[in-house]
Every structure is written in C-alpha cells, then in structure tokens.
Chains A and B, each alone.
Chain A
Amino acid sequence: MTGTAPSIVHEQHQSASFHLSTLLRLSVCPHNGETSLHGRYHELAPHLVPMDYTNDPDVKIPLALIVNMPELKENPFRNRIVESFSEDGQGNLSFNDFVDMFSVLSEMAPRELKAIYAFKIYDFNVDNYICKEDLEQTLNRLTKEELTPEEVILVCEKAIEEADLDGDSKLSFADFENMISRAPDFLSTFHIRI
C-alpha cells in the first residue's frame, strides 16, 4: 500500500474525526442551555459527574437516574435498553457507554449494529436467545392490556414459528437478524433523536 508515511498523520486525523464526528453528530441538542452530549450526561447527576473529563474518571451513573431522561422516560423498554449498553449488565453507564447507546440509536448506525443491540434488548433473561418467555414479556410491554392472555400466547407461538429457521423453537441471533432484514421500517423506528 503506497504512502504509509503520510497516512499516519492522516490516520490520526481520521480517527480523531471519526470519534469527533460521532460525538459531534450527537452533540447538538440545545436543552436547558447545555449543548453537548457530555452536558446531557452531566445534568443527569451533577454531583457525580465532573465537568472535566481529561483524566478519564471512572464514573458511572445508575440505572434509576438514566431512565429519567425525557427521551427514555415513557419507553416501555427503557430498563432493558440501558442494561444492554452497560458493561456490568445492571444498567450503570459510564460516559463511553452513554455515547455508545446514543450512537447506536442514532440514524447513522448501520443496520447490523442496530440488530445486535435490538436482540440484546429483547432478550430479557440474557441467555442469548429470544425464547417464548422473552417474547411474552416483550408483548406485554408493547400492548399493556390490549391483548388477552390467550392471544398473547398465540402471537408468541406464531411469531416464533415464522422466524425460527433452525427449528429449536426459540430465536437465535441469526434468526432475528434474518427476520429484521425483511422489515424496512426497523431502521426508522429503532431510532432515538437526541
């Protein structure tokens, strides 16, 4: 590959701009005078989060504070969303995890990445499959009292029947991704603006 030397400088700029652009793209959200993602993170827990991040402090905001964000407050899956992006699985997000979350949920994220995290979100018992119980819980959150229990069971069975390709009566990631690839609306609905 030609031109390795100048590509170093280029790379540094590239990587900086890649990171910067991800952050910048997410950072225009005038909200109570704060105009950056870091600002949003800070205002969730002003006493915990320092304004100065040069030393890369190890600060995590607990789940209960994050799900109070206006974008997430009314979302029935808010707990699962935050848990899937946290490292410990309990929902405590560091700033990096916070940026991760909103960059995956933004409109720039590629479809595959969104599918991976959507699978994690809908997998309630975190066993790497979406089994019938997971599906039942998903349905109950989607439609609180609209469906009768028999209808819920019927929908779960039918959905698994439709999407399960390898016949183990639960959805693995491959099944899920295959089904999502046929849903053109997925990219536009799995999207939170910040």
Chain B
Amino acid sequence: MAGRVGFHSDLITDIESPADEEGVHDSFCQLIEEQSHDHHDAIEMTSLELEEESRDDVMHLESPVYLRVDSEEPQHMECLIGGRWSSDTLKVLSSMPSRTIGRSRGAIISQYYNRTLQLRRRRQSRPSIQHFPRSARPSIRGHRVETDADEYEEDDNKRERLVNNLQNLSANDRVRMLRAMPLSLSEKKELRMLVLNKAEHSLSQNQIPCCSQLKYYIIIAVRHGWYGWLSFLSSLQLWQTALKCVGGHFGTGVLSYFLFLRTLLFFNVFLFLVTALFLVVPQAVVAPDPGRNTSVTSLWGLEVLTGAGYFSDSLMYYGYYSHQTLQPKHSCSKSINGTSCGLSYNMPLVYFFTIGAAFFITCIILVYTMSKSFGQSFRIDKSKGLLAIKVFSSWDYKVSKKSSVRLQRANIGTQLKELVAEVNREELKFSVLTRLFRVFIHMLAWLMCLGSTLACVLAVFYFSEHMHKKDVETRTRTSSSDGVMLKEASLLAVPVLVSCINVILPGFFNAVAWMEEYDSPSVLNYVSISRNLLLKVSVLGVLCHHWLGRVASDPEQLGLQCWESFVGQELYRFLLMDFIFMLLDTFFGEFLWRLFSQKALKRKRKPVFDIARNVLELIYGQTLAWLGVLFSPLLPVVQIIKLLFLFYMKKVSLMMNCQASGKPWRASQMTTIFITLLCFPSFLGASVCVTYTMWTMKPSAGCGPFRGLKTMFQAGKLWVQKLAADNPNLSWLASAHSYLVENPLFLFLCAAIFLIVIYFHSQVVDGQRKIIELLQEQIENEGGDKKFLITRLQDIHERKRVVSPRGVRGASEDSSYS
C-alpha cells in the first residue's frame, strides 16, 4: 500500500509543534477523503460492520452533524476523545501491534522474528538468500484484521521464518533469545526441536574434513563439561535456605547485608586459594630455614588472642618464608656449577608476584561487579513517575511471613500517603528563622560528629605512641618472666581501644542524627554512612602511619628482628578484636536491648537491624584483611572463619531479636553503594598501602623472603636482570622493564589516558540522556497522532453509517474480502 506507507512517513517527518495543528489537519483531510473512497478500506470497514452491526447502537456515541469538515476540526477532536469508541474501533485498536505484545502468539513470534533478524545483521552472519525477508517491517505487512484461516497461515509462515533466523544465530545468542521469549515452555521446546531438525537436514550439505571435525568434537565435549560444571556450581548455592528464610521474614534490605557477607566470603576464599597454593604449600613442604632464630617464650592461651609467641615463627607470618630458591632435597644433584635441581622455586619472586597478582585479580573482579551493579541501578532520568513506580515495583514478592507482609503493607501505605500529600500540599513556607535554625542544628550536629572523630583519632595516635614508647623502654631493660604476661596483654591495648571506638561512636552518631530529625530516610542513610565512613578511614589512616611510619622505619628501637611479622601480628590482633567486639555488640546491642526495651520500657516493637552500620563493619574488617595479606599470608583464613561465624550469629540474633524495618530501603541502590565503598576507600586504600610498602620500605635483614634487598620490588627487577644476563636474547626485557615500570612518566601517561577515556564516556552518557528526552517527546507525539487518527477514522465510520448504510453494504456483498 504505497499510499499508506507514504502517509506514515509523512507523519514522522512533517509533524511540527502542536501549534501547527491546523496546517497538519488540512493536509490529512484530503488523504482521508481519498482513502474513504478506497475500495479496500470500504470493504474492511463494512466487513466489520457486518459482524457487529447490532452492537453499534449501544456503543454509538453522540456525534454532531457535520456540514463542513475544516471549521469544526478542533472541537470534533476534543469531543470524540472524551467519548467511547465503537466496537469496530475497539477491535482495530486491540489488534494493533503495540497492544498485542506479550498477549498473542502471532505478535510474539513476529516481534522475535524482527529481533533475531536485527541480531543477525549486527553479528553479520550472512543469511541464506532464500530466507531473506521481503520486508523488515511486519507491522506494515501483516497486521490487518484477519479471519481465522488467514491468521493460522500467517502464523505458520512467521514461525518458519523465526526458526530460520534462530538457526542462523550463534548458539549463545539463540539460547538467550529463547530464554527471553514470553512463550510457554512447551512452545519453546517445540521451537528448539524445529531448529534442531532443520539443522540436521542441512548437515548433509556441509562436509567437514576429518581432522578439524575431531577438534570440533573435542571443543564441544569441553563446552558440555563446562556447562555441566556451571549447573552444578549454581545448584550448590551456599546458604540458600538460610537466605530464603531471612528474605521471607525481613525483606530485601536485610537480605542484601547477608548477600554482601557471602560476596566477601568468596573474595577471601579466592585470596586464600591463591596464597595457599603458591606460598604456603611450597614453603610447608620444604624443611624450615636453618638460619633462623627460634626464641619462643610465651604463654599458652594468650597466643590465640595475640597471634604472637608460638605463632610468630610459623607459616602464618612473613618471617617464616625463605629468601632463597627452594629446592626439594631428594631431587638435587651436584654438578660442576653448583647444586642445580630439576625443580626450583624462586620464593622471593613468587611471593612478590603472588601478592601482586592476587590484588590485581581482586581489583578486576571488584570493578566488574561494581560496574554491573551500577548499570542495573543507575537510571539517568529519575525525577518523573515516582508514584507509578512505587505502586508497581515496591511490593517485595520474597516476603512470606504473615506479620512481615502486614508490615510491608503498612510501609507501602505510608509511603504512598506521603507522596500523595506532597502532591496536594502547597509549599510549606518555612519562616526564615526556622530555616536558619535548622541549618544551625545541622551544622552543630556535623561539628559534633567531626569533633568526636578527631578526638578519637588523636586518642588512638597518642595512645599508640605511648604504648610504643613503653615498649621501647621495657625492651631496654632486661626482660623478666613476671612481666611477660603483662607485656603480651599490653599488645592488645591499642586494638581494644580501636574496637571500642568502632562500637561506641556509631551509636553516638545515631543519637545525633535522631536529634537532627531528618525528613527523608534516604538522606539520613547517606549522612550516617558518610559519618561512619569518615571515622573508619581516619582511624585506619592513623594506624597505617603508626605501623609504616614508626615501626617499620626504625625496627631496632623495638628490638624487632622482623618488623613485617610484627605488623602481621598487629593486624591479626585487630581483626580478632574486631570480631570479639562484634560478638559482644550483637549480644548486648540486640539481645539485651530487646529484653530491656520489652520488659523495662514496655515497648511492643523489637529493635530494628541497622544495615548500614553492620555493612560498614564488614568493609572495615575486609580492609584489615587486605592490608594484612602481604605480612601474613594466612590471614584470609582467619577472615573466612570470622565471616562464617558472623553469618550464623547474625542470623540467629536477627531471628530472635529484631523485626523488619518500617522505613523504606532501596536495596539495589544500597548494594551498589556498598560495593563502591568496598572498591574505593577500602580496596584502593589497602592496595596503595601495600604498594607503598613494596616500593619504598626496606625489608628487614634478618627474616622473610626479601632480606638483603633494598626494597621488595627489587626482587622482580633482579630477576629480570638475571634473565637478561643468562640469556642475551632477553636483554630487551630488562631495558623495557627499566624504562616502563620504573619510570614515573609512563605511569603518569597511563593515568592521563585513563582520565581522558572516563571523560569521553561521561560525554557519551550526557548525549544519551538528551536522546532519551527526544525519544520521549517523540513517543508522546506519536500518541497524539494515534489519537487523532482514531478519531478521524471513527468520524468517517460514523458518517458513513449515518449517510448510507444500505448502499455500502450492498456493494460489499458482491466482492470478496481477501
């Protein structure tokens, strides 16, 4: 239908601002007149009329008598929009392509035919000539009002074409397409069978040489094995029932805490596997270094807490690891140049590269997770449509406990009421005085929080200095056995102080926020997260300065042979104390508080689980673990044990003591924020610290894999130089190493390129935002056009009925509708 196609394209290209309506209507008038005389259209409309003539009287709407079309256009249109459509119009409307998506099979199949075609074009796999479609827009071709026989024929045709398209896609795309189709499982199975059968038929035409066939069979077998393994893995989901239970009682918000815990567990398991495989196991297999001092004077019992004593000379810490190339004794054979063995394991190099690779891979996984989560939760255009979104997407389907469901209902009801009230209410004019007062309160609150943070940080700083000095003093005096226990216990003083601060201060921040009376709960969330974050970052910063600045720079003062092992022990102590205090906090904070509030204060409601605070605790612990991997390769094990305990303990405490929160919690946004916090302050800080240690700090001369070197980094450099010396062909490697890795200019260049790429991407996002706005406008215009067309068609139909119902019907009886 050339006329119809032209009509359609006119619609898109010629439409201008709504003010131009008169001119637009004029041009359509003629076309509509033409079409109303078109044989085809007349037949279409009369065939409808034949079927449902009697119902028209009921649905007939009031239409004024028209003498001239042009002058009464605008009123006519308004009149018809308000009224109801006749049944014919309704039937046409209901079979429009946009209305039948997801509803009729024919529409789904043609929609997916379209999509597979686009996908094939994008993937640039050449479709065979006979299957090339004649038109790319089935919406023009196929969607007339059809009788049943026609529909069946069209359906089969479309389906055959869809099957062809599917067959020509790659396997992954095909699976993804099939999965996304809203058809029932039996229909999908049918489609798949058809695709397979078709593929079998075309097999005989393609013969493949035997060798590559074997290769392909191997690849397929490997892939099959891989899919089987993936299915097995996903079916093994850790803690599936526990998570379901928590989700059913408390909803998605609290569930996100436990999911975050599980993510951290996987990170630690990965770290553990890497260090165990490359560092711990080889060192454990080989006999310990003969040249070390073993001075073990300690008390049992306190060792688990302090990590010192018996543990200090074990696989757990840096000091145990050998600085030589490890060689298993029995496979050595003496030769002229010295001992050379089949298997040699260059420990310093492996240590350096293992830690580096572990951090690098963790970084990649973190950034990938963060960007995926960000992509799901970030929406460019957030301001419109809040109420509709709230109605349709706020009900959490996971909740299955009756009381939680009731609570959720109340929650959603409150939110909707608030939104509606916002709509209705005139702007609350706060007087200038009230506004100033509120600003003053906020500033006061921030001052209090920052002041308390500063006070705590200074306390940690001076206390650690004091303990350091005391330690130095006691070492200059001769050691006596009475003071040993006190000395060991004094190692725990700073960790206990830091953990106390971590527990008490967030409670103080909560009280301050309560005093401030924030209006919106999301702002409250963000503010409390940022305050807690500031506290933890500053405390960790002070501690790093203490270790790297004081202990590492002058280890002889403390009489330390091995400052790295000492720092590793410190980190172990911090991690352990953190865990103990979390246990105590759960016990006192949740269990006893519930008893207190129910018995003493006589409150009905149990306390609410504070998600933000608990997640920040987890992030803090993970930062400590990352800081400590360099100094204590077995620290991930401690973290794993701690996380496992924590999961069950928190779950039990949650079930017993807490109830679902009454405040809304945007789960996906919060998850993104937590992963971002894990990546940016936490991981970045830890890796900067570790890199700084490796780059500039002098390793201790008496222990560890890097003894005798100027910096840990030199291990890599020396190896490259040795390689170049042994093998003159590889001298380019040595020079490349010295130019690229050691030259700061190269790093600056990398950073500059990175920033430029980020800037380009942000500009692309801006451009896409503009396109979205334009498309939105276009959709609204199309909607207006559709309304207009419907009213005009309705109008024509009405006029035809009024003018000459007899004549038209007579003509239609002779001709057949194709």
Partners in one complex: yes
In contact, A21 and B405 (Cβ under 8 angstroms): no
Partner of A193, one of B234, B243, B669: B243
| B412 proximity list for chain A (CB < 8 A) | 142-143, 146
Please determine whether B180 and A8 come into contact, CB atoms closer than 8 angstroms: no
Check if B231 is an interface residue, CB within 8 A of chain A: yes
| Known contacts A1-B170, A158-B423, A166-B786, then 8 further A-B pairs from the complex at CB < 8 Å, ordered by chain A residue | A24-B235, A28-B235, A75-B405, A96-B186, A97-B184, A179-B385, A183-B392, A184-B379
A189 to B379, CA, bound (A): 17
Contacts of A33 in B (CB 8 A): none
Q: Determine if B417 and A11 form an interchain contact, defined as CB atoms under 8 angstroms apart.
A: no
Could you say which of A11, A20, A159, A162 contacts B199, with CB atoms under 8 Å apart?
Answer: A11
Could you list 14 examples of A-B contacts with CB < 8 Å? Answer: A12-B196, A19-B189, A22-B179, A27-B235, A28-B236, A97-B185, A100-B185, A112-B182, A113-B182, A119-B102, A162-B385, A165-B776, A173-B102, A191-B397
> Does any Cβ of B come within 8 Å of A132's Cβ?
no
Instruction: Indicate if A131 sits at the interface (CB-CB under 8 A).
Output: no
Query: Is there contact, CB below 8 Å, between B208 and A18?
Result: no
Chain B's interface: helix, strand, loop or mixed, by majority?
A: helix
Give bound CA distance, A154 to B212, whole Å.
68
**B407-421 interface code vs A (CB 8 A; 1 in, 0 out):** 001101110110110
Q: Does A52 contact B (CB under 8 A)?
A: no
Q: Which of A54-98 contact B (CB under 8 A)?
A: 70-77, 87, 96-97
CB under 8 Å from chain A, chain B span 621-650: none
In the complex, what residues of A have CB within 8 A of residue B178's CB? 18
Task: Report Cα–Cα, A10/B213, bound state, in Å.
Answer: 12
Contact B231 A24 (CB under 8 A): yes
* Cα separation A10 to B783 with both chains bound (whole Å): 46
List chain A positions with a Cβ less than 8 A from chain B: 1, 3-15, 17-22, 24-25, 27-30, 70-77, 87, 96-97, 99-100, 105, 109-110, 112-113, 116-120, 122, 128-129, 135, 138-139, 142-144, 146-147, 151, 154-155, 158-160, 162-163, 165-168, 172-174, 176, 178-193
Most buried by A among B101, B189, B247, B401: B101
Interface string of B154-183 (1 = CB under 8 A from A): 000000000000001011001100111110
Query: With a CB–CB cut-off of 8 A, which chain B residues contact A20?
Result: 231
Check if A159 sits within 8 Å of B387, measured CB to CB.
Answer: yes
Q: Is there an interface contact between A6 and B400, defined as CB atoms closer than 8 Å?
A: no
Given contacts A4-B199, A75-B400, A180-B393, contact A28 B240 (CB under 8 A): yes
Q: How far is the CA of A14 from the CA of B176 in the complex (A)?
A: 12
Residues of B with C-beta under 8 A to A75: 397, 400, 405
CB distance from A109 to the nearest CB of B (A): 8
* Chain A neighbourhood of B787, CB < 8 A: 166-168
List the one stretch of B220-228, B343-351, B493-501, B534-542 in contact with chain A.
B220-228
Task: Please provide the 3 A-B residue pairs with the shortest distance between their CB atoms, ordered closest to farther.
Answer: A146-B413, A166-B783, A6-B216
Chain B proximity of A75: nearest CB distance (Å): 6
Determine if A15 and B400 form an interchain contact, defined as CB atoms under 8 angstroms apart. no
Residues of B within 8 A of A8 (CB): 196, 199-200, 203
Q: Which of B65-73, B92-100, B558-566 contacts A (4 or more CB under 8 A)?
A: B92-100
Which single residue of chain A is at the shortest CB-CB distance from B196? Answer: A11
B786 surroundings in chain A (CB, below 8 A): 166
Give Cα distance in the complex from A91 to B388, angstroms.
27
A120 to chain B, nearest CB (A): 7
CB contacts (< 8 Å) of A144 on chain B: these are: 409
The reply to whether A25 and B234 contact each other, CB–CB distance below 8 Å, is: yes
Q: Across the two chains, which residue of chain A brings its CB closest to B391?
A: A159
Q: How far, in Å, is B667 (CB) from chain A's closest CB?
A: 5
Q: Are B410 and A146 in contact (CB under 8 A)?
A: yes
Contacts of B409 in A (CB 8 A): 142-144, 146
Pairwise interchain contact A71-B400, C-beta atoms closer than 8 A: yes
B382 at the interface (CB under 8 A from A): yes
Whether B99 and A172, one on each chain, are in contact in the complex, defined by CB atoms closer than 8 angstroms, is yes
CB-defined contacts of A190 to chain B, threshold 8 Å: 393, 397
B241 within 8 A of A: yes
Indicate whether B377 reaches chain A with its CB closer than 8 angstroms: yes
B768 at the A interface (CB under 8 A): no
Please tell me if B735 contacts chain A, counting CB pairs below 8 Å.
no
* Interface membership of chain B positions 103-119, coded 1 if the CB is closer than 8 angstroms to chain A and 0 otherwise: 10000000000000000
Among residues 366 to 402 in chain B, which have CB atoms less than 8 Å away from a CB atom of chain A?
376-379, 381-382, 384-389, 391-402
- Is the pair B398, A191 in contact by a Cβ cutoff of 8 Å? yes
Assess whether A185 is in contact with B667, with CB atoms less than 8 Å apart: yes
Residues of B within 8 A of A135 (CB): 391
Chain B contacts with A in 116-174, Cβ cutoff 8 A:
125, 168, 170-171, 174
A45 to B665, CA, bound (A): 38
B784 within 8 A of A: yes
Q: Are B668 and A193 in contact (CB under 8 A)?
A: no
Whether B388 pairs with A142 at a CB distance below 8 angstroms is no
B237 interface contact, C-beta 8 A: yes
Contact, CB under 8 Å: A183 / B393: yes
Name the A residues within 8 Å of B394 (CB-CB): 142, 185, 189
Q: Which residues of B contact A189 (CB under 8 A)?
A: 252, 393-398, 667
Return the contact of B401 from the options A10, A27, A74, A112 (Cβ within 8 A): A74
User: Known: A8-B203, A110-B179, A113-B180. Is A166-B779 also a contact (CB below 8 A)?
Assistant: yes
Q: What is the minimal beta-carbon distance from B422 to any residue of chain A, in angstroms?
A: 11
What A residues does B669 contact at CB under 8 A? 184-185
B25 within 8 A of A: no
A10 touches B387 (CB 8 A): no
Contact A139 B391 (CB under 8 A): yes
B230 within 8 A of A: yes
**Given the interface contacts A29-B240, A118-B392, A193-B244, does A185 sit within 8 Å of B100 by beta carbon?**
no
What is the chain A residue whose CB lies nearest that of B375? A184
